[in-house]
Amino acid sequence: MPDAKRRWIEERKRDVYHRKAKALGYRSRATFKLLQMDSKFRLLRPGAHILDLGSSPGGWAQYASERVGSGGVVVAVDASEMKPLGLRQVRLVKADVMNEGLELLIASVMRPGSADVVLSDLAPDMTGKYEIDHDRQITLAKRALEVASTFLKKGGALVVKVFEGKRSGEVERRAEFLFRRVRKVRPEASRKRSSEYYLVCLGFRAQ
C-alpha cells in the first residue's frame, strides 16, 4: 500500500469527528462543522427552507433536514449523483453550480426569494497546487453568493466556505455588501491543517 494512502487511513482512524459521524449515522464528518455553526448562530429552525450547494455526500443536507423537520424544505444541489436521504422534505437537484442554467433548475423546486438559509460547502477537485486550488475555490464561493442573492429572502442567512489566501478578501467584501453582519468562523471540526474557514452571513439585504 502506498505511504500516502496508509497515512490517510491512519488519520481517519484517529479522527474523532469521523468516528462520531459513523457512530451517529451521518454521511460525513463535515456534518459537525454545520452543527457547530448552527449551535452558535441559530441558523436552522423548524419549517425553514434551506438551499444546500455542493451537498454530496449529504452530511449537511442530512443535518439540515433534521433541524427543519417535516414542515421544512431542503434543496440539495450537486453535480454528482447523491444517494437519496429518503426524506420527504429533501429535494435533490443534480447540477453543476457553474452551469448558467442553474437558477432555472433550482427554481423548479424552490421559488426565488424564498430561502431562509443558503449553505455552501463547495470545494474544487484538489490539484495539490495552492494557487490553482485557491482560485477555483474562490470562484465557487463567489458563485454561491450569486445564487444566494437570487434565492434568499430578505433577512436570510448564508454559510459559505472560503479558502484562506490572497483572493479571500474578494468574497468577504462582497458578503459585507450583501449582508448586514458577516462573521469569519473556523469550526472546531475543521481539520487543523486546512486553509478553509466559513463566512456566516446574516441579514440579507434584498436588492
pLDDT of res. 113:
98
Q: What's the pLDDT band for 10 if we cut at 50, 70, 90?
A: very low
> pLDDT tens-digit profile of 107-141?
999 999 999 999 999 999 999 999 999 999 999 99
Cα distance between residue 74 and residue 62, in whole Å = 9
Q: What is the dihedral of CA 160, 196, 182, 158, to 10 degrees?
A: 10
- Residues annotated as part of the active site: 161
Cα distance between residue 58 and residue 64, in whole Å = 10
pTM of the entire predicted model: 0.89
Q: 146 with 118: CB under 8 angstroms?
A: no
In the predicted model, what is the mean pLDDT of the chain? 90
All domains of the chain in start order, with CATH: 28-204 (3.40.50.150)
pLDDT of res. 67:
97
Distance of CA 101 to the CA centre of its chain: 20
Cα distance between residue 37 and residue 134, in whole Å = 23
Range among 49-58, 81-90, 190-199 rated most confident:
49-58
